[in-house]
A and B are shown apart, each in its own frame.
Chain A
């Protein structure tokens, strides 16, 4: 019996550990540089905005000195122009810097001192690493070092090792005081905002070896800071000089406060920092390319004992709209309407026989929606073929969601297959993409008789995998925050609405996948406020996506934006992942989807003459045995 890892174990290692933080040392082996990386390497402060799984942490770790050393071993650190120092904000630690014992001003100063200690410590540890790695002794001017120690209120040190040790002791004392802040607030000697960092960077920059080089503080999870703490760091960012800069990683909507500690002073883009919104930078095409690189990079690590294509796209074949229609038996579905047309329009028999089956289906679909006959629709088509072709182009993809809508007890109504589809379902989130790939490959090994990956994953298996990942994500949402359960209910309610709209599309605009929140006279402020909070949480936790609306209100409120469910959920509820048309929902509708979902879904759908149909979604629960 061999102890060699199985193919599934290999896949789990390469694709199953989807979180950067979980990759450990392999994070740098598997690093793929995104398109916006060069911009981060410039001196200007940057704010990298993206949800969990969009690659923020991976990129920041790639910028760190440890990361660069692992990624470019041929380029010695002495040749680098910057040195990245990674710091992840620990939510359970920074919450210690608040409480009724002290005023906000005092807490701001204490937190500022803490940041001075932490960042200076990271610099001194880097200097020790540099000394060990490059082999040169990092000599420090004694007077300069003395000034740094004095500014930090620590005992004098003779070298960077001594400085690191002094800071460690200072942090121990500091911790003891903060834990007893009710008694000992007056014992704290606080350093001036940013001064020790300035002095230390100047000291290092004065040596020839570091002349012209800069430190980049890579602050991850900025959203974990309180508003006051963000103002403290904003102040540092605003006033950072040439010797150091900041690269911030923050979730969408996680950076609420742009003010500094100085009244009226604001951190602005592009004057003070470059904003890099990952979802905007990695649009559909660029994300697809990036995701391809990430996956193919991981495939390379698969043991040669396994026969696997080197290109991940070969494992996830897709199909066109026409091919999918054929898969579902479109020829049989349209045989009767086609016969009816041939009988009524014998002179057009050649044309009718040449039409794609999906086009004929569209005629039938359109006639049903207009409450007329297919013959009348065909006459209209003959009269205006160009406008019909345009109309058909608009509706073509949406037809696929209606092909099986009347069928009971089917497990799959719509296929979600193909690399391009998977990239779209992931919605710019590399973590979701890896989860889809992993689930698809593993499911394929379960389903396939020979347990090999040489053949592609079947369409049905890819669809099953997509539904599973979406379902898991929905379950995760229930636990992610105190609002988690509410968000999961909102996602389910919206999913039912969009899924039903997709299945009952006759007579309606195609691909309704977005919503905006209407303002009406009876909207109470309390409800609107609750909805605002809920939608913001939804965006932050990647349940929803938000876009600038077409009706700007001039205010930053919920009415300013259009929303859609994260594309991942489209696979669970069988609607389109594309950002297309919009419906309107009121604040009461949103809350109703949480508080009385069944009735609210009925009410919303009835406004567009649709009927709620729970059987459309019952299978999703059956699929997972719940």
Chain B
């Protein structure tokens, strides 16, 4: 890690989220800020012994958190922080003059379900609730033509999440473009994605419209989204990050940089306890540089 820097992270029950504890001792020039008590609308941070509560739909509170950090380099660990919280955090951070890095730790494996059913081979999510936008990313303008919407679900292993999203969003025919992470974190993971989403992909021939993006690459996901947007220039692109965090990051960057015709939709999953095992690769994404790339730059 570059130093001096601030490292913002959250701990979960997963092994891959506890590395900051060991790092804290080894990086004296790095400040560690833990995100706690994450819920749909707010979170708390412990900073220098003080607890502060931050509302995700308050740009001033988010900005205060970032601007109060003395370091010019900020690492935001998206492994343990929930997507609907790190997304507005990253948006706020890149709006300032800091260098923003996102960190993601791949798992070695995901927890297989002891009672697998169609669409649910792994215990990754306990439940999901209503479909909503990412906080601060809502799109409220009139939809003049419901047929001019592309729906791009970034797939994970859980087919029931895709089925639920399609049911609730009801996108127009022929304009659903599922994205599968290929290559996956592991060679077999893309097959799990196909198997887990089999019912939805088989229905209405969705499998024919699958696109691919490298599972741990936000740039690859971003590029994929840009390609679809280019094919449907006058369409609203509704993106549902249902899969990897790097893909979700790519979706967020797409929403932040590619104009007003992007909508992020989310099913607010409650993660299952210990949904993964082990620690795989640790990836660091230079978000500031990504955002500064000229549009049209290939991944």
Contact = CB atoms under 8 A, between A and B. Distances in A.
A478 interface: yes
A172 B260 CA distance: 10
A480 interface: yes
Nearest to B265: A92
Contact of A96 (B61, B118, B133, B144): B133
Interface in B38-75: 40-42, 55, 57-61
A224 B140 CA distance: 15
Contacts of B143: 88, 90
Contact of A93 (B41, B58, B119, B138): B138
A404 interface: no
Contacts of B147: 24-25
Interface stretch (A114-122, A230-238, A351-359, A611-619): A114-122
B93 to A, nearest CB: 16
Nearest to A175: B140
Q: Which of A19, A125, A472, A479 has the most CB of B within 10 A?
A: A479
Nearest to A179: B136
Contacts of B164: 479-482, 484
A95 B130 CA distance: 8
Interface string B137-148: 111111110110
B133 A92 contact: yes
A480 B131 CA distance: 12
B160 interface: yes
Interface residues of A, number: 49
Contacts of A100: 41-42
A178 B169 CA distance: 21
A556 interface: no
A88 B142 CA distance: 10
Nearest to B145: A66
B128 interface: yes
Given A21-B172, A92-B131, A16 B142 contact: no
B164 to A, nearest CB: 6
B142 A99 contact: no
Contacts of A479: 118-119, 159-164, 167, 199-200
A484 B263 CA distance: 26
B133 to A, nearest CB: 5
A573 B130 CA distance: 32
B199 A478 contact: yes
B231 interface: no
B174 to A, nearest CB: 8
B131 A95 contact: yes
A571 to B, nearest CB: 19
Q: Which of A168, A171, A484, A488 has the most CB of B within 10 A?
A: A484
A88 B146 contact: yes
B129 interface: yes
A472 B159 CA distance: 14
Q: Which of A92, A114, A172, A181 has the most CB of B within 10 A?
A: A92
Interface in A101-120: 101, 114, 118
A425 to B, nearest CB: 19
Interface in A478-500: 478-482, 484-485, 488
A4 to B, nearest CB: 19
Interface string A168-187: 10011011001111110000
A92 B263 contact: yes
A472 B203 contact: yes
A350 interface: no
A475 interface: yes
B140 A93 contact: yes
A17 interface: yes
A224 B164 CA distance: 13
Interface in A422-479: 472, 475-476, 478-479
Contacts of B58: 101, 180-183
A110 to B, nearest CB: 11
Given A17-B173, A478-B120, A479-B163, A171 B127 contact: no
A54 to B, nearest CB: 15
A250 to B, nearest CB: 14
Interface in A1-22: 16-17, 19, 21-22
Contacts of A171: 140-142
A91 interface: yes
A93 B139 contact: yes
Given A21-B170, A475-B199, A181 B57 contact: yes
Nearest to B141: A171
A234 to B, nearest CB: 20
A478 B141 contact: no
A23 interface: yes
Contact of B41 (A21, A24, A91, A101): A101
Contacts of B171: 21
8 contacts: A171-B140, A183-B60, A224-B168, A475-B119, A478-B159, A484-B164, A485-B119, A485-B160
Interface of B: 40-42, 55, 57-61, 117-120, 127-133, 135-144, 146-147, 159-164, 167-174, 199-200, 203-204, 238, 263, 265-266
CB-based closest 5 A-B pairs? A479-B163, A182-B58, A22-B173, A95-B132, A96-B138
Interface of A: 16-17, 19, 21-25, 52, 88, 90-93, 95-96, 99-101, 114, 118, 121-122, 125, 167-168, 171-172, 174-175, 178-183, 221, 224, 472, 475-476, 478-482, 484-485, 488
